[in-house]
Chain A
Amino acid sequence: MTTQIPSLDDPRVLVQTPATIYDAIPPYAPRTEREAEFYTLRDGEMLVNMGPQHPSTHGVLRLVLKIEGERVSDLDPVLGYLHRGIEKLGENADYHHAICYTDPLEYISSLFNELAPVMAFEQLLDLRVPRRAEYIRVLSCELLRIASHALFMGWMALDLGGLTPILYGFIERDEIVEMLAALTGQRMLFNYMRIGGVNGDLNHEFLSRLGDWMSRALREIEANTTLLNENEIFVKRTRGLGVIDRRMALGLGLTGPNVRASGIPYDVRRAHPYGVYPELEFDIPTRDEGDSYARYMLRVDEIKQSIRIIDQVLHRMPDGPVMAKVPRRITPRPGRAWAAIESPRGQYGCYAISDGTDQPYRFRIHDPSFVNLQAVVPLMPGNLLADTMAVMASLDPVMGGIDK
């Protein structure tokens, strides 16, 4: 770390050494065994930079693909193009403020990003959240889970070349987002979860929109899925592709729909129940195939379960306050807390350490996409270039969360 190695981003490097233009080989000595192996090209292999500006990398992910004709022989994901240092910022803000920073982490499902830190801080404070607030949390989070999965289905199709499903997905998402905007005030970065409850009670507009949508949600979503579910081209392209078996899924630490598609019913809502999930009835859909198609279909099943949860929550919603009494300046006793929730992409965790001051001493965000994305590295070799996108899309990574 003492010697200065030329940066990849240094424009001079690119101009002075044309080899970097041809081969995309970094201009410094390999730092690890794996890097040395990766950047040693055999005959007929070439490196292709896919990203960070590429139509289908879900943000600014850079994949260095080693290809042999159309066949991918290895790949190396390069992260960090969206790194904002949220953990450091959170450690330098007080507890209320740290939550705001987590909002844009995984911008598709912001409410989950808020919920995990909020729950960790509540653990630090030994705080009891009013039951109505818990129910509202579940309600809004499940809505957003549907929105996220609806969008996932569109993205998957878009990465496979289908133009239309993404827009149908966005229509569903927009309905939900408008609903949540009525509830929280914003469309994307809701900033709704608060330490000790939620920011505001349910209001009439939200409930009327919700009722309106609930009456046709399932029908609409099922209609939209006919576009892909049985489509021969889609099925042929995804079935048997990127198979993750049980053992591999556990070893890779996958969570969420990706691990459930491999037959492991690991869902934090059941594995370590939080909130009011123990009181609600729902299934954990699993599939045994572990391929991209199973991961896709599993999310379709999850949408149905979420609708079921929302239905129950609406029927059981208790009365009461939505915020516990929390001082403006929070100074928890020194201690450690780990809270994990089931976000649409898997287990979203927050590890917070308090040192008795009003700022978290350590503010660690565990993002599921970060772990899930690792699976592309063992899955891809041997597949075709076009499958990179199919596998990537089926793992559903969001770069905002991966790069923190």
Chain B
Amino acid sequence: MSFVPGLGIVKGMTLTLRRFFQPKVTVQYPEQVAPIPPRHRGRLQLLYDEWGALKCETCFQCAMACPIECIDMGGTDTKDRFHVHWGPPEQYAERREELALRRSGRPVPDPAFASFSPLDTSDLDRLLEAEEYDPARMLPILEQTQALYGYIPVAAIKHIANATGAWYAEVYGTASFYGQLHLEPPTRHTIGICRCPACSLFGGGAIRTALEQALGVPLGGTTLDGFVSLEPDDCHGENGGAPWVTLDGARQPGITAAGAAQLARSLAGPAPAGRA
């Protein structure tokens, strides 16, 4: 407080009077839109391509990256078979319930497992240990899991996710990306064919056409009776100068287009009426 009474008030009044004539700082919102900083993490929105189709492929990458897990998404997988879902209730609420129960010393019910027949995971554990629980080796793990059970059960995916620390959706994404991995019990016979350029060069294309004609289904499909499915396979670059064709996982070396068609017809069940 100054010695002159009232001087402080006068100083303040002078300041406000000076401000009265200064330029104003208000941003007139609807006319003047404040710039959005480039690092802004704002509203989420789905993108559409130029034909109006949704560009989202339900890859869950965004949901996995979201730190507060506010992204909740669902959809069908790429083969239009499974309803998949990712969001707080699935990957996070169930885990926190589990942990809370474990801490309070109660048995842990897992509602997600309840609708499944229990899976004997001892072999799977051994397998995972051999792979050192390394999420980077997900593909070998999954291929071996499929070899173990014939397909990749959901319970196994969950188990792998828990053991390796990978997100459930990551494991699921890997499993659903590769054509040779199955999420449902296998059909009776599977003919696999590799589509890589090397195999195609060695005559894979002709074999594929012959197989498709013989079975009447495109690649990736199953015949109507469900006996044979034609699946893409992966030769891992080991085709050794010949097209890579497998029957139920066993390689068929030296097969030709005609031989493949013959094989397919022999595997197929009795032909329905009206189909040659």
Number of residue pairs spanning A and B whose beta carbons lie under 8 angstroms apart: 77
| Closest residue on chain A to residue B16 by CB atoms | A164
Cβ of B37 and Cβ of A185 under 8 Å apart? yes
Is A152's CB within 8 Å of the partner chain B? no
Nearest CB on A from B91, distance (A):
11
Q: Could you tell me which residues of chain B, from 4 to 21, have a CB within 8 Å of some CB in chain A?
A: 5-9, 11-12, 15-16, 19
Q: CB distance B69 to A97 under 8 Å? A: yes
The residues in B between 27 and 79 inclusive whose CB is less than 8 angstroms from any CB of A are 37-41, 67-69
Which one of A133-141, A223-231, A258-266 is at the B interface?
A223-231
A93 to B88, CA, bound (A): 11
Q: Contacts A93-B96, A185-B40, A359-B99 hold; do A230 and B16 have CB atoms under 8 A apart?
A: no
Q: Is there a chain B Cβ closer than 8 Å to A59's Cβ?
A: no
Contact A186 B103 (CB under 8 A): no
Report how far A359 CA is from B94 CA in the complex, Å: 13
Partner of B9 from the list A97, A191, A223, A231 (CB cut-off 8 Å) is A231
Residue B1 at the chain A interface, CB threshold 8 Å: yes
Contact of A227 among B15, B40, B69, B92 (CB under 8 A): B15
- CB pair A186–B41 under 8 Å, yes or no, is yes
> B130 an interface residue at 8 Å Cβ cutoff?
no
Answer whether A181 and B40 are a contact pair too, CB < 8 Å, given A97-B67, A226-B15, A361-B103: yes
Measured CA separation A291–B9 after assembly (Å)? 21
Q: Known contacts being A171-B25, A357-B99, is A230 close to B39, with CB within 8 Å?
A: no
Q: How many residues of A contact B (CB 8 A)?
A: 38
- The answer to whether B185 has its CB under 8 Å from any CB of chain A is no
Bound state CA distance, A231 and B9, in angstroms? 5
B72 CB, nearest partner CB in chain A, Å: 15
The contact string, 1 if C-beta is below 8 Å from chain B, for chain A 161-197, is 0001000000100100000011111100001000000
Is A70 close to B, CB under 8 A?
A: no
- Residue B2 is within 8 A (CB to CB) of chain A in the complex: yes
Knowing A100-B67, A235-B1, say if A183 contacts B39 (CB, 8 Å): yes
Check B119 for interface membership: any CB of A closer than 8 A. Answer: no
A231-B12, A232-B8 known; A359 and B40 CB under 8 Å?
no
| Chain A interface residues (CB < 8 Å from chain B) | 92-93, 96-97, 99-101, 164, 171, 174, 181-186, 191, 200, 203, 205, 223-224, 226-235, 239, 329, 355, 357, 359, 361
Report which B residues bind A (CB closer than 8 A). Answer: 1-2, 5-9, 11-12, 15-16, 19, 25, 37-41, 67-69, 92, 96, 99-100, 103, 165
- Please give me the 4 A-B residue pairs with the lowest Cβ-Cβ distance, nearest first: A185-B39, A230-B8, A92-B96, A231-B8
